[in-house]
A and B are shown apart, each in its own frame.
Chain A
Amino acid sequence: MLKISLAGAGTLILPGSGLLPAAAQSADEPHFFLLIVLNGGADCSYMFDARPLSMTKAGKIQNYLKQDPAPFSGRNGTGTLATSLVKPLLPFRDRFSILNGVYMTPSFDGHLQNMNFLFTGNAFGGDSFIPHLNLPDTGREPQSLDGVLSSDPVVVTVNNHSGVVPLMPRAVAGLANSLKQTPPLAGGELTEFIRGRMTANATGPGRLSAAAALMQAGLDKSPRVHRQLAQLTPASNRDSPEQQTLALITQCFRLSISRSAIYSPSEFFDVHATEQAKTQPKMFASAIGKVVTLLKGLVDTPFDDRRSMLDVTTVMVASEFGRTMRSPDGTVDDTGTNHNQFSNSILIGGKGIRSGLVIGASDLRDEVEEPSAAHLQLDPLQEKTMGLPFDFATLTTRPDMPAAFDIKDYLTIGSVVNTIYALFGVPKEHYRVLRRELPTAQVLKGLLT
C-alpha cells in the first residue's frame, strides 16, 4: 500500500540563478490565474477522493487500478484516500489544497451544463468568471487579454470570452517574427477611417453591431497587443508540449499580455463504456504528469528576482463534474461510469491560497456507509457519491445526516469561484449566488492566506 504522509512532502527549491529584473507590471502586486481543465468529467476516485478495494469487492465501485488507496492527510488534519496515481503530485502537496465533495449544478448532469456552471454559474451559460479577474475595479490595471487558451478549446457557452484568446505554442515563432516585421496599426488617417467604419457599424442592437463593437475594441487594443506578442519567444522544439505551453503562459503573464490562462490536457475522461473506463489509470497518469510539468515549471520559472511564477499565480485544477461509482449494468470489473454533478474534486494552490489542506469530503466512503435522506432525495439509486454537509466556519464536514437537501449545507463550485473572486478583489456584484432566490455562496475564508 502506498503510504502518504506530510513528512514525505518534497522540498522545492526556487532557482537562485538567472534572475530577472522586476517584470513589467503596472499594478503593485502581480497576480495571475491558471485553470487546468480535466475534460469530460474526471473520476475523483482515481485521485484524492478514492475508495477502498473492499467497496469494489462489494460491487459498489469500479477500480481499474486494482490497488487499495492510501490514507492522505492534510495539514489541517482532514483525511482522505489517495491512489498511487497522485504520487507525482506529492512533491507539490504543500503547494496546493484539495477540495473534495464539491457540488456542481443543482439539477443538470450534462457536460455542457456543468462546464457552463463551472465557468459561469449558470447551466445554460452566461458571463465567465475568467474575465472578471481582469476587471479594472479589482484594483489592478487590466492585462491586454483576459486569458489565453493554450490547448484545444473547452466547449462552454459564454458571453464574455472575446478577451480569452486561443494561443498555441506552435504559433508563437511565426507570429512574433511576422509582427516584428510589421508596424502596429496605430495612428494615422487610414487607421482612423477603418476604426470609424467599425464605430459607425457598432451602433444598434444587431449581432453585426455587437461584433463591430468588438472589432473596434480589439483594434484599439491591437497596437499594444501587437508589440507584446512580437516579444514572445518560442520554446525549444526539444521541450515537451507541456513545457512549451508553460513557456507561453509564463511569457504571457510576465509580458502583461494576459491575466489568466486555461489549459486542458488532451485526455478525455468521459468513460461511459467499459473499455474506456479501463483506460482511466493510464489517462490519469498521463494527465497528472502534465499537471506536474506545469506546476514544476511554475515553481522553477522566476517571475522576477524575488518570486517564482507560482508565487504570483493561483492555480486551479478542475473537471466539470465527477463520475458515478459504476454503471448499473454489468459486473463491477466490467463497467463504465456516468456523470456525477454532486461530487467533484478541485485542486487549488499558488498565490493567496493556504496550501496543504484537505477540505470537504464525499459520502459513501465504504461499503457499509449509508447515505443521508438528502442524498437519497437526489440519488435514490445510490449511484453517485455526494458531498457531505459542510461547515464553512471550520472548513470541515458536518456529522449530521440532513433529512432533506438544502444547497446551503454543501460546498459548491459557487463558493470556490467566490473564493477566487475574493482573492482577486473582484467586486461583490459578480459573486455567485447559490440559487436565484438564495444568497451568495460563502467564501472559503480559511482557504485564503
Chain B
Amino acid sequence: MRTVRGLLRSAGLAAAITLVLSTVSITQSGAQNAQFKGWAAISRELSTRLAAPGASFDLHKFVPADDLDELLGTWNRFGDEHTLQNGSPNSVSMVIWRVALSGFAKSVAGSCGQPRLTFHERFLTNLRKLCRWPAAEAKTDAVLQEFWFSVMGYNAPQSEYAAWREFFLTSYASRPAAETIDAMTLAITMNPHFLLHR
C-alpha cells in the first residue's frame, strides 16, 4: 500500500507496483456516506446537459486554483484499481464548491445578453425567457421546470424542485433577473442531489 500518485510517480517501480498489488488492498476511506461526484464528473454533466452539440464547457476556470479540483473528489488509478479520494464533504470542500459554482452561476446569469458559455439552443431559448424575471412569463412552471431539469438532470425528487420553485417565487419575486438566475443556479448546483453520487 502506498500513496497512489506517489508510487506511480516513482520511476522504475513497475515491478514494485506488481508486487504491491499482490499483497495490498486499497480501500476507500469514509465509505459510510455518499461521496461527491467530483469536479470532473460535474463538469461533464453540465456540459452534457447544457453545452451545444459537439462543445464542452471549460469549467476548470471556475476552480479557485490548480489542483483544488482534487479536493472535490477525484479518481486515482493504482494498477487496475480505481478509487475515489477526497469525496467526503467537509468545510474546505464546501468552500471550494461554493466558489467554483458561484463562478459558473454568474456565467449563466450573465448570459442573458451575450452567452458566456456555448449553451445549446434549447437551454438558451429558455434562459432568455427566464431573463425577463420578474415578469410573469419568466415565472411559469414550464420555464422554471425547464431550467431546473436542464441543470439538475433527473436525479432529484420532485420535492426538491417544488421547494426550489417556491423559494424563488416568494423570496426573489421582485428581484432583478441576473441576481435571481445567479441564485437559482447556485441553489441547484449546491443541492446534495446534484453534487453527490446516489
- A residues sitting closer than 8 Å to B (CB atoms) are 39-40, 110-112, 115, 125, 144-145, 151-159, 161-163, 165-168, 170-175, 177-179, 182, 184-185, 189-190, 193-194, 196-198, 200-201, 206-208, 210-215, 217-222, 224-226, 229, 264, 266, 268, 270, 272-273, 275-276, 320
What is the 8 Å Cβ interface bit string for chain B, positions 167-198, against chain A (1 contact, 0 not)? 10001000000000001001100111101101
- B26 near A155 with CB under 8 A, answer yes
A-B contact pairs, 7 of them (CB 8 A): A144-B91, A151-B3, A166-B86, A197-B190, A211-B192, A215-B195, A219-B94
B31: chain A residues at CB < 8 Å are 157
How many interface contacts (CB-CB < 8 Å) are there between A and B?
212
- B192 near A218 with CB under 8 A, answer no
Q: Chain B nearest CB: distance from A132 CB in Å?
A: 16
What is the 8 Å Cβ interface bit string for chain B, positions 1-25, against chain A (1 contact, 0 not)? 1111111011001011001100111
Interface centre among A125, A166, A213 (most CB of B within 10 A): A166
- A222 near B98 with CB under 8 A, answer yes
Docked Cα-Cα span, A258 to B158, in Å, equals 39
Docked Cα-Cα span, A174 to B62, in Å, equals 12
Docked Cα-Cα span, A301 to B9, in Å, equals 31
- B9 near A215 with CB under 8 A, answer no
Docked Cα-Cα span, A190 to B71, in Å, equals 24
Q: Assess whether B64 is interfacial by the CB under 8 Å rule.
A: yes
Interface centre among A178, A196, A211 (most CB of B within 10 A): A211
Docked Cα-Cα span, A174 to B100, in Å, equals 12
Q: Assess whether B115 is interfacial by the CB under 8 Å rule.
A: no
Closest to A200 in B: B163
Q: Assess whether B40 is interfacial by the CB under 8 Å rule.
A: no
Q: Assess whether B99 is interfacial by the CB under 8 Å rule.
A: yes
- B68 near A218 with CB under 8 A, answer no
- A218 near B93 with CB under 8 A, answer yes
Q: Chain A nearest CB: distance from B38 CB in Å?
A: 13
Instruction: Tell me the B129-158 residues at the A interface (CB within 8 Å).
Output: none
B86: chain A residues at CB < 8 Å are 153, 166
Interface centre among A115, A190, A320 (most CB of B within 10 A): A190
Once A190-B186, A214-B90, A266-B9 are accepted as A-B contacts, the answer to whether A156 and B167 lie under 8 Å apart by CB is no
Docked Cα-Cα span, A54 to B3, in Å, equals 36
Once A39-B3, A273-B15 are accepted as A-B contacts, the answer to whether A162 and B24 lie under 8 Å apart by CB is no
Q: Assess whether B89 is interfacial by the CB under 8 Å rule.
A: yes
Q: Is the interface of A mostly helix, strand, loop or mixed?
A: helix
Docked Cα-Cα span, A222 to B70, in Å, equals 18
B19: chain A residues at CB < 8 Å are 270, 272-273
Once A152-B5, A197-B163, A268-B10 are accepted as A-B contacts, the answer to whether A111 and B23 lie under 8 Å apart by CB is yes
Q: Chain B nearest CB: distance from A272 CB in Å?
A: 5
Docked Cα-Cα span, A179 to B99, in Å, equals 8
- B98 near A264 with CB under 8 A, answer no
Closest to A39 in B: B2
- B6 near A152 with CB under 8 A, answer yes
Q: Assess whether B80 is interfacial by the CB under 8 Å rule.
A: no
- B68 near A211 with CB under 8 A, answer no
Interface centre among A144, A168, A173, A177 (most CB of B within 10 A): A168
Once A159-B30, A222-B98, A264-B3 are accepted as A-B contacts, the answer to whether A166 and B70 lie under 8 Å apart by CB is yes
Docked Cα-Cα span, A111 to B24, in Å, equals 6
B28: chain A residues at CB < 8 Å are 157
A172: chain B residues at CB < 8 Å are 65
Once A159-B30, A171-B68, A229-B95 are accepted as A-B contacts, the answer to whether A211 and B1 lie under 8 Å apart by CB is no
Q: Chain A nearest CB: distance from B178 CB in Å?
A: 14
Q: Chain A nearest CB: distance from B73 CB in Å?
A: 11
Docked Cα-Cα span, A407 to B5, in Å, equals 37
A194: chain B residues at CB < 8 Å are 186-187, 190-191
Once A39-B3, A111-B24 are accepted as A-B contacts, the answer to whether A218 and B89 lie under 8 Å apart by CB is yes
- A156 near B29 with CB under 8 A, answer yes
Q: Chain B nearest CB: distance from A160 CB in Å?
A: 8
- B27 near A153 with CB under 8 A, answer no
Instruction: Tell me the B35-83 residues at the A interface (CB within 8 Å).
Output: 35-36, 64-68, 70-71
B5: chain A residues at CB < 8 Å are 152
Which of these, A40, A193, A272, contacts B1 with CB under 8 Å? Answer: A40
Docked Cα-Cα span, A215 to B198, in Å, equals 14
B198: chain A residues at CB < 8 Å are 208
Q: Assess whether B111 is interfacial by the CB under 8 Å rule.
A: no
Q: Assess whether B160 is interfacial by the CB under 8 Å rule.
A: yes
Once A152-B3, A178-B64, A272-B19 are accepted as A-B contacts, the answer to whether A162 and B90 lie under 8 Å apart by CB is yes
Q: Chain B nearest CB: distance from A319 CB in Å?
A: 11
- A179 near B64 with CB under 8 A, answer yes
- A210 near B27 with CB under 8 A, answer no
Which of these, A145, A159, A178, A198, contacts B92 with CB under 8 Å? Answer: A145
Given A207-B33, A273-B19, 5 more pairs with CB closer than 8 A: A111-B2, A115-B1, A145-B90, A189-B167, A270-B2
Interface centre among B4, B29, B159 (most CB of A within 10 A): B29
Which of these, B1, B92, B164, B193, contacts A165 with CB under 8 Å? Answer: B92
A152: chain B residues at CB < 8 Å are 3-6
Q: Chain A nearest CB: distance from B170 CB in Å?
A: 9
A264: chain B residues at CB < 8 Å are 3
Docked Cα-Cα span, A163 to B94, in Å, equals 12
- B102 near A112 with CB under 8 A, answer no
Docked Cα-Cα span, A218 to B90, in Å, equals 5
Which of these, A151, A193, A201, contacts B192 with CB under 8 Å? Answer: A201
